[in-house]
Each structure stands twice: as C-alpha cells, then as structure tokens.
Amino acid sequence: MEFMKPPPIRRLTGSETVAPSHDRQPVAAPPNGHGAANGNGAATAFVGAQRRRVAASSLAIDRMQVEELSVAYGRKLAVDSVSLTIRQGEVLALIGPSGCGKTTLLRSLNRLTELNQDVTLKGRITLDEADIAKLDPTALRRRVTMVFQQPNPFPMSVFDNIAYVLREQAARRPKRGALRGAVRDALSRAGLLDELPDLDHPALKLSGGQQQRLCIARALAANPEVLLLDEPCSALDPQSTQVIEDLIVKLREDVAVVIVTHNLQQAYRVADCAGFMYLGELVEYGGATQLFRAPRQQRTKEYVRGEFG
Amino acid sequence: MDEDDLLEAEATTDSDRRAELMLGALVCLVVALLLGMFAFVIYQAWPSFSHNGLSWFGGGGNVDSEIQAMFNSGASLARPVYAFHGWPLIWGSILLVGGAVTIAFVCSLFVAVFVVEFAPDPLRRVLEPVIRLLASVPSVIYGLVGVFVLVPFIGNHVISSGSKASVSGIITLNGYSLLAGVLILTVMIAPVMVAVFSDGLRAVPKGWIEASLGLGINKWRTVWKIGVRAARPTLIAGTVLATARALGEAVMVGMVCGVVSFAPNPVDGWIFFVEPTRPLAATIIAFIDDLSSPPMRHTLYAIAAVLLLSAALLSFGGWAAKQPMKRYGLRT
Amino acid sequence: MSAIELPVPGPAPGARIRPPESPPWRLRDRLGLGLAWLLGLLFCAVAVAIVLYFLVQGIKYVRPELFVTNPSVNASTSVATGGFLDPLLGTLLVTALAMSIALPVGIAVAVWLSEYGRPAALARIAESSIEMIAGTPSIVLALFGVLLFESPALGFLSRMSGGVVYGRSFFAGAAMLSLVGLPLVVTNVRAGLQAIPNHVREASYALGKTKIATTRRVLLPAARPSVLTGAMLGAGRVIGDTAIIVVLLGGTLTFNSAGSVPLLSTLQGTGATLTYYVFYNAPTGEGNQPGKAYAAAFVLLAIVLALNVGVDVATRRSRRLRWSS
C-alpha cells in the first residue's frame, strides 16, 4: 500500500475558496508531485490505496434502474433528477460531501424515505424491471436490505438476531435446529463465525466492528438481491473497516452492493462503479478507476483532489 | 496560598460537608419513617396473628359475624375474641386485582401500541393528554360511575330474577358485585398502564425499529417483536405500579362491590361473576370506626400488614423479573 | 496496482430462487393490527363517555350557591342541605399543607440522590424506600398515621380531651398525604437534575462555588420545570386520595376547629374535603344525595384538569429550553 501524502498547503488564488475541512473522515490524500503537472501546478491524478480487486463489469447483471429520480422533503429538494444503474457483480459507491443527498438516494432505493411524513418523489425506480412504487414495501425490503451507519443489533443473542429475520420470512415457523445451519451460514459469510465464543452470546456485548458485521450477516440472512450500506464503517476502527471492506468485495458476486461513503480512500478501494453527488445532483457517474483518476467534470476533479468536502 | 485563602477554602468545604450531612440526615429520616411504618403496623398486627396462627389465612368462618363478635367483646376487655378467618377477603382481593390487572394489561398493551405507532396524528394529539388526565382522576369519581351506571345495569339487566331467587337465602344479588368491581378497577388502572407503556415504547431506540423495517419485516411485527420486547422492563414496572394501586384501592371498591364479606364461589357457575365480595382494603374502610376496640384494632392492622407485605413483595418481584433482561442489553 | 481478472459469471437475471416465503403481512399480523385499532378506539369511546357523562351531570347539578354555602345536616330529617364550601376549602387547605411538606423534603432527597449519593448503599436503600412508599396502599399509610398521631407525643397536632388524643386532624391528614406526593416530587426533580449535563456543574465548581451553592443557584433554577411537574403531579395524587381523608380527617362535613387560634386551630381540628364529600353523598355513603355528589365530582374533575393543563404547559416549556439539541 502506498503511503498517503499529507494534504498540500492550501493557497488561495483568486478563483478558489477555502472549503471547511471535513470533520468526520480523513480527507482523501490529494496528490502532490505525482503524475504530470498541468499548467497551474496542481496535480491531476488521484493517488489512493491499492484497490482490493478489480473486475471488469462486462458480465454484471442489471438489477435496479433509477430513472430521473427527484426526492424532496417539504420544499427542500434533496435529490435532483438522478439516473443510474445498479448491477449485480458490482459495487457502486456514492460519494460526495455531506448534505449532497446520497443517503436520501440510498434510502429511496428501498422506500425507507416513506417513514418521513412530508416526502415527495418524482421519477421511477425499478427492481428487475418492476416499479418498486407498486410493490409492497415490506416485500421490497426483503429483496433490498440495508445496513446502517451505527451498528444496531437487537437486544438479543447473536443467534436470535439472525434467526429473527429467518423466522419472520419463513412460511411456517422453523425449528431451532433447522435454523442453526442457516444462521451459521450467514455468520460465516460475514466472517464472524470463528470469532464468536458461542451463538448465544448477547449481541450488544460484541465490539463495534463485530456488531456491524453481525448487522451485515443479518441483512444477508434475508437473502436480498441488493444490499445497501449507509456509511457502514464510519463508526469503526481501521481494523474492522478493513475486514468489512474485504467482506463487501467478496459479496458482490451474489448481491448488488451500493455503498454510501465519505471516505474517498474507501470508495476507491472497494468500488467498481462510482457516482459523485453534489447538492442533490449526480455530477458524474461511471467506472471507479476512471472517475477517480481521470474525472471528466471540474467539480469531481476538485472533490477528488480534496479541495472541498 | 496565604492564610486567608486557606481559611476560605476550609470554610467552603465545611459548608459543603454540613449540607451533605443535613441532606443525608433527611434522607435517613425518610428511610427511618418507612421502616418505622413496617415496624409499627406489624407490631399492632401481631396479637391478631398470634391468636389465630396460620388459620388467619384460612377459610371456614363468616368474616362478618367474626367481626361482630370481636366488636361485641371489645367493650369488655376481659375476654376479647380474636378469632378471624380472612380467606374470603384474600380470595376477594385475588379475584378482583387479578382479574382487573389481567384485562387491563392486555388492553393497555394494545392501546399503547396503537397510540404510539399506529394512530393517525390528530387522534394521537388528542389521545395523549386525555390518557394523562384519566390517569390522574381521583378514584372516587370512578366509584361514582360504577355506582350510578354499572351497578344498576348489572343488577337489573345482567342478573336474572331467577338467579336472585336461587341465592336469596344466603346473599342478595343486586348488582354490587365482583363484576362491577373488576370492570371499574380495570377502567381505573388502564390509563395508568397505557401511560407507562407508551413512555416505554417511545423510549425504544429508533435504530432497532429502523433496522427491523430495513430487513423487510412489516411494521406490526416490528413493533410487536422488537419494540414491545425492548420495552419489557417498562411493561413490568407499569404492571407492578397498577397492581399496587389496585390492591390498595379501598374506597372505590367498597362503593361498588357490596357490603358482605363474601367469597365468590366459582362452583356457582355464572352467578360467580355477580356475587358480592369485599377485598382486604375495602374491609378496613368498612370497619374503620371501630378502631377503639382492641381486637378490632389488631385485626384491622393485621389486614393492613398483609397489604403492606404484599406491596413489598410486588416491588421485589418486579425487580427480580427485570434482572434477566439486563443480560441482553435492555435498559432496566 | 490494478489487474484485470476474468469476470465470474453470475446467476441469470431475475433467477434468484427464494424458498417458500410467508407473505409480508400474514393474517395474524392483520388481526393484531385490527385488534390494536379496535381496542384503541374502544378506549377513546370509554374516555369520551366518562368525560361527557360528568359534563352532563355536572351541568345539571352544579349551581353557584353550592360554592358558597356549607353543608349542614338537618338533625331531624338527617338530610344534608347546603353546598360544599368547606369541603372545597378543605381540599385546598390539605393539599397546600401536604405539598408544603412534600416539596421541600422531596427536593432535598432528590438533590442528595442526584448530587451526593454517598455511601452508595444508602443511596440504593433510599431509592428503594421511595419506591416502596410509592407502592404502599394509602389505607396502610392512613392506619400508620393513626398510630403516629394518636400517640401522646404528637397530641398537640390534634385535639386532646381528658388525656386521650383524638388523632384526627388536618395536620394528621396532611402529614400522611405528603407521603403520597413525595415519591412523585423526588422522581421528577431527580430526573430534571440528572438531565443537566455535567459541564454546567464543572463550570460552576471551577469558579470556586461549593456544591450546595451550585445546586441552589444554578441547578435547581435550571430544573424548575421538573420541580413544577413533580409538584403538580404530587398535588394531583394528593387531591384524589380518599382513604387517608376518611380515616384521618375526622369526617365532619364542616371545619371543626379545636380552639380559637386563627389558622392553627383549624388545622388541629377536623373537616372534610371534596373527595370525602363525594364519598359521603354517594348512594353507599350516609348522605346519599346524588345531585350533590355529581356537582362535587364535577368540581374535582375541573381542578384535576386544570392541574394537568399546568403540567402540560410546564413540560412544553421545558422542552423548549433543552440543554442539547
């Protein structure tokens, strides 16, 4: 892994304004001295950590399609005419400064925005070519599950956390023995099985990283087609973050993964496809390597270089 | 620091220490008062228990005639009569409180879930203050409703004249009954339980509810399996509170349950529900004017001691029931 | 370093096979939801019915002269005429007296529990004691009051004649009623104090203030909404209690003072409260005058409603002055 260079000393020129530094995540290391210098001396290339794995998206299957989606809370427009595709076999990263609407976009993918009273939607989202607005929200959320920023395992044992999902979805109440296999399977997919002393361990006594992996295991137990992750590692230490990123990359063959993150390094590490959002608009959308290394839009360039956000 | 500063520092610590001692002494006084209550009540109750032994709790006598005998004998201290068999009172209390708390618990849980999660907003905004108002209504007012509305209704429409005739030799079925007591007690404790349960449901961390919804579980099951489960300590606290209030409710129950210390007999069939009864607390109120006669006095205090110890047991039971829940992270 | 690997073929589109699943809303769930709605609406109906019932009956029976005349029992017909002036004053008097004991003591206990609390064992015992007092039936408190106030040591708080202490007076009733209101005051004030973040205390200590001064000058004023809530909830419980009144207030329908000292003798004497008046005039009581009972009940309800509105206003104000967003 290449070392991250320290951020450059900001120099105010006439056209630039100093943006407040982001107080939640380390700012992505802007490049300095690498790559060809262009006219005004600032570098153009994004240098980040080594990518965990890159696969071409040629055999990815389209699962969800977002068509001209606009979401407004009351009068405030949170998402403005966004269109993108979510494919199985790919990890899609939504990046952007805070308040740009990426969480709202994520939550509208499984209709969690409906929990808010005064929300209005325009546009269309389809899952396997069916308009999700016409599906039953509960049925939709079984196929498109979500993991939240703060780990929120239920106040039960680890076994019960996962068995809860399995029991609720099964046609008839399955016996505990029958569930054991499925629970262990979900836990091993999340890489948690070996770390647990026993399955009856209270879930709230796990460490933060383990709790978040439990939440991912729980989401996987629902057998979803799309997995939504809302800044899953922002509350975790680097060790747990690494484990979860490996997990995400492993998962993408079975489920389509959409991850919202503040951390540009993380996005570069795990994403196949990336979308940069700013003030509700999808400024740029494309392959991850291209977006980070050779962004087409000026705003994207500035964000990726760490000039704001 | 020079000497003046040191003195000032000492003075402030002194005043703090004095304040702490005074406040601590006040707290000790309150604790001592409670302990004193236990001590005094049990002391006054002791003669009645010692004369009767365990048969105090048994049946087999007519409570009213026993009390009459006590009263008559009390004037002449030569041979005070202490014989007392309190089972009809205890049974009455069990039936009344048990019935009311059971019905109220089920209803209050559903109503609390409705108010917190499913009621439309305008209805919720009206309901919440109404629930708090109902929870603070004095119990005599519920007693009035019972006496003016429930008792005549039961007496005239629920009990058939045939039933009345069949037991006319022993008791009169005129509407002052177990049923009236249970219903009015339920109406009294339900708002209290709904208020406590709603607070508990509202305090469930939103993260759990969102997580469950995000996994594709419908709202009803989410609220039921996660919300209610997480609020279990509050459910226990509310039930203990309501049971204690129901147990100690003397005046209101006395107004609707009848003037006979009768033990309703399930074997009687449907009449069982409309038989009069008089639980422990109501009995004390009924005979409160006779405190001057020693055997009466000791017996009434004995009943009070039973009530006090039941309340203590309830408190302890609630605490014990909450302990296992701590393991899985529920805030008790 | 990036490397291009051969893509792994995924499953065919839309071919995810799901095991037989239950529908998102099972019949059981719909029944449960329906039951919640049913019981919720039933509860509303009962609440509305009770409120309307007393409204109607109250309007029928409440007359202005009831507020200003005293109950007087006609010896020959033993029918009580007159209104409920004395019982109304009795309610206000006994509540004021009881809360004037419960409020200071309650605040002191709450401050000790929240700010001091050493030794820890005493703190736990104190908490359990307050809980126990809250759970004690008021009839038991009344009987305990009889024991206390019939003893010669406290004879000055009620009437004494020929060496026998009567033991029933406003003092006796109010003292026991203060125990009824105490736990509510303690709980609410304690919660209010605990909600104040620690940095406020630290700032005050850093300025050299003692703990007690901090509490008096900074914390308690900040917790004023909780103090008010506790006081009003406690007053509500005190107003509504009948058992202690029946036992300890002597059961005379008018003020029956024990001497001629202006306030003191009234407090040493006996009297009645609105709750006792309602109890007396109910069909099961001695007076048996339904109309008067309804009127008094209506006034009681109005007082309780006013208190509740006061609590609502106080909590709303406290929510506006939150410490943290």
**Which residues have CB under 8 Å from C279's CB, separation 6+?**
B140, B143, B251, B255, C242, C246, C285
Predicted confidence (pLDDT) at residue A304 exceeds the cutoff of 50: yes
Predicted confidence (pLDDT) at residue A294 exceeds the cutoff of 90: no
Grade residue C73 by pLDDT with cuts at 50, 70 and 90: low
Predicted confidence (pLDDT) at residue C161 exceeds the cutoff of 60: yes
Amino acid at C242: T
The mean pLDDT of chain C is 82
Is the Cβ–Cβ distance between C222 and C155 less than 8 Å? no
CB atoms C284 and B141 under 8 Å: no
- Mean pLDDT in residue range C47-68: 82
More confident residue, B165 or A155: A155
Inform me whether the C-beta atom of residue C311 falls under 8 Å from chain B C-beta atoms.
yes
CB atoms C284 and B254 under 8 Å: yes
Inform me whether the C-beta atom of residue C45 falls under 8 Å from chain B C-beta atoms.
no
| Chains in contact with C, counting 3 or more C-beta pairs less than 8 Å apart as contact | A, B
Inform me whether the C-beta atom of residue B180 falls under 8 Å from chain C C-beta atoms.
no
Predicted confidence (pLDDT) at residue C183 exceeds the cutoff of 90: yes
- Mean pLDDT in residue range B263-289: 81
Count Cβ–Cβ pairs < 8 Å, chain A vs chain C: 62
Inform me whether the C-beta atom of residue C74 falls under 8 Å from chain B C-beta atoms.
no
CB atoms A60 and C8 under 8 Å: no
- Mean pLDDT in residue range A201-207: 88
β-strand A130-131 against C72-73: which pairing, if any? Answer: unpaired
Grade residue B294 by pLDDT with cuts at 50, 70 and 90: confident
How distant is the alpha carbon of residue A298 from its chain centre? 24
CB atoms A142 and B216 under 8 Å: yes
Residue in C33, C212, C294 closest to B19 by CB: C212
Alpha-carbon gap: C137 to the closest alpha carbon of chain B (Å): 4
CB atoms B226 and A219 under 8 Å: no
Q: Which residues of A touch C26 (CB under 8 A)?
A: none
Predicted confidence (pLDDT) at residue B246 exceeds the cutoff of 50: yes
| Preferred mutation among B327, B328, B331, B332 to probe A, highest tally of A CBs within 10 A | B328
CB atoms C22 and A89 under 8 Å: no
Go through B180-204 and write b for each residue having 16 or more CB atoms within 10 A of its CB, e for each that does not: bbbbbbbbbbbbbbbbbbbebbeeb
Alpha-carbon gap: B118 to the closest alpha carbon of chain A (Å): 12
DSSP symbol at B222: I
Predicted confidence (pLDDT) at residue B282 exceeds the cutoff of 80: yes
Q: Which residues of C touch B41 (CB under 8 A)?
A: 140, 143-144, 147
Grade residue C64 by pLDDT with cuts at 50, 70 and 90: confident
Number of Cβ within 10 Å of residue C294's Cβ equals 25
Predicted confidence (pLDDT) at residue C31 exceeds the cutoff of 70: yes
- Mean pLDDT in residue range C212-234: 87
Q: Which residues of B touch C146 (CB under 8 A)?
A: 291
Inform me whether the C-beta atom of residue B31 falls under 8 Å from chain C C-beta atoms.
yes
Tell me which range, A149-153, B45-49, B56-60, is most confidently predicted by mean pLDDT.
A149-153
CB atoms B111 and C141 under 8 Å: no
How distant is the alpha carbon of residue C30 from its chain centre? 38
Residue in B211, B221, B230 closest to A168 by CB: B221
Inform me whether the C-beta atom of residue C43 falls under 8 Å from chain B C-beta atoms.
yes
CB atoms B329 and A148 under 8 Å: no
DSSP symbol at C164: E
| Chains in contact with A, counting 3 or more C-beta pairs less than 8 Å apart as contact | B, C
Omega prior to B138 cis, within 30 of 0? no
pLDDT in tens, B106-152: 999 999 999 998 888 888 888 888 888 888 889 888 988 888 888 88
Predicted confidence (pLDDT) at residue B48 exceeds the cutoff of 90: no
Grade residue A38 by pLDDT with cuts at 50, 70 and 90: very low
pLDDT of residue B5: 55
Grade residue C74 by pLDDT with cuts at 50, 70 and 90: low
**Which residues have CB under 8 Å from B155's CB, separation 6+?**
B173, B174, B175, B176
Q: Which residues of C touch B194 (CB under 8 A)?
A: 43
Query: Of B328, B312, B246, whose CA–CA distance to B38 is shortest?
Result: B312
CB atoms A170 and C22 under 8 Å: yes
- Flag the least confident range among B72-81, C141-150, C257-266: B72-81
Predicted confidence (pLDDT) at residue A31 exceeds the cutoff of 60: no
**Which residues have CB under 8 Å from B79's CB, separation 6+?**
B73
Residue in A223, A253, A289 closest to C8 by CB: A253
**Which residues have CB under 8 Å from B279's CB, separation 6+?**
B89, B92, B93, B96, B97, B181, B253, B257
pLDDT of residue A197: 78
pLDDT of residue B59: 74
Query: Of B54, B80, B71, B35, whose CA–CA distance to B302 is shortest?
Result: B54
- Flag the least confident range among B228-232, C33-37, C149-153, C188-192: C149-153
ipTM here: 0.86
Alpha-carbon gap: B291 to the closest alpha carbon of chain A (Å): 53
More confident residue, A132 or C16: A132
pLDDT of residue C17: 62
Grade residue A293 by pLDDT with cuts at 50, 70 and 90: confident
CB atoms B225 and A215 under 8 Å: no
Grade residue C61 by pLDDT with cuts at 50, 70 and 90: confident
- Flag the least confident range among A3-7, B58-62, C59-63: A3-7
Q: Which residues of C touch A254 (CB under 8 A)?
A: 10
The mean pLDDT of chain B is 84
pLDDT of residue A1: 41
Q: Which two tokens stand for residue C264?
A: 């003191």
Grade residue A10 by pLDDT with cuts at 50, 70 and 90: low
CB atoms C53 and B12 under 8 Å: no
The mean pLDDT of chain A is 79
Residue in A55, A142, A289 closest to C7 by CB: A55
How many Cα atoms are found within 13 Å in the side-chain-facing hemisphere of A59?
12
Amino acid at C7: P
Inform me whether the C-beta atom of residue C304 falls under 8 Å from chain B C-beta atoms.
yes
Grade residue A117 by pLDDT with cuts at 50, 70 and 90: confident
> What is the C-alpha to C-alpha distance for residues A268 and C130, in angstroms, rounded to an integer?
59
- Flag the least confident range among A189-203, A257-271, C33-47: A189-203
Torsion, CA B18, CA B21, CA B23, CA B26, rounded to 10: -130
Alpha-carbon gap: A197 to the closest alpha carbon of chain C (Å): 30
pLDDT of residue B25: 92
How distant is the alpha carbon of residue C90 from its chain centre? 18
- Mean pLDDT in residue range B271-287: 83
Inform me whether the C-beta atom of residue B30 falls under 8 Å from chain C C-beta atoms.
yes
CB atoms C47 and B307 under 8 Å: no
Grade residue A9 by pLDDT with cuts at 50, 70 and 90: low
- Mean pLDDT in residue range A49-70: 70
More confident residue, C253 or A225: A225
pLDDT of residue A37: 38
Predicted confidence (pLDDT) at residue C173 exceeds the cutoff of 80: yes
Predicted confidence (pLDDT) at residue A85 exceeds the cutoff of 70: yes
Tell me which range, A17-21, A149-153, C12-16, is most confidently predicted by mean pLDDT.
A149-153
pLDDT of residue A7: 61
Grade residue A60 by pLDDT with cuts at 50, 70 and 90: confident
How many Cα atoms are found within 13 Å in the side-chain-facing hemisphere of A38?
5
Residue in B37, B140, B145 closest to C50 by CB: B145
Q: Which residues of B touch C141 (CB under 8 A)?
A: 37
pLDDT of residue C112: 92
pLDDT of residue C324: 46
CB atoms A154 and B212 under 8 Å: yes
Is the Cβ–Cβ distance between A69 and A251 less than 8 Å? no
> Which residue of chain B is at minimal alpha-carbon distance from A215?
B211
Q: Which residues of A touch B327 (CB under 8 A)?
A: 202
- Flag the least confident range among B11-15, C49-53, C226-230: B11-15
Predicted confidence (pLDDT) at residue B215 exceeds the cutoff of 80: yes
Alpha-carbon gap: C37 to the closest alpha carbon of chain A (Å): 20
Inform me whether the C-beta atom of residue C69 falls under 8 Å from chain B C-beta atoms.
no
Predicted confidence (pLDDT) at residue B249 exceeds the cutoff of 70: yes
pLDDT of residue C129: 92
Residue in A55, A60, A89 closest to C5 by CB: A55
Reported pTM: 0.83
pLDDT of residue C322: 60
- Mean pLDDT in residue range C280-305: 84
Predicted confidence (pLDDT) at residue A13 exceeds the cutoff of 50: no
High-pLDDT (> 70) share of chain B, %: 91
- Provide φ and ψ at A233, rounded to 5°: -105, 5
> Which residue of chain B is at minimal alpha-carbon distance from A115?
B210
Residue in C6, C10, C19 closest to A61 by CB: C10
Alpha-carbon gap: C252 to the closest alpha carbon of chain B (Å): 13
Residues 57-86 of B with CB under 8 A from C: none
Longest dimension (CA), chain A: 70
pLDDT in tens, B103-117: 999 999 999 999 998
- Mean pLDDT in residue range A179-183: 86
Is the Cβ–Cβ distance between A188 and A221 less than 8 Å? no
Q: Which two tokens stand for residue A63?
A: 């699962």
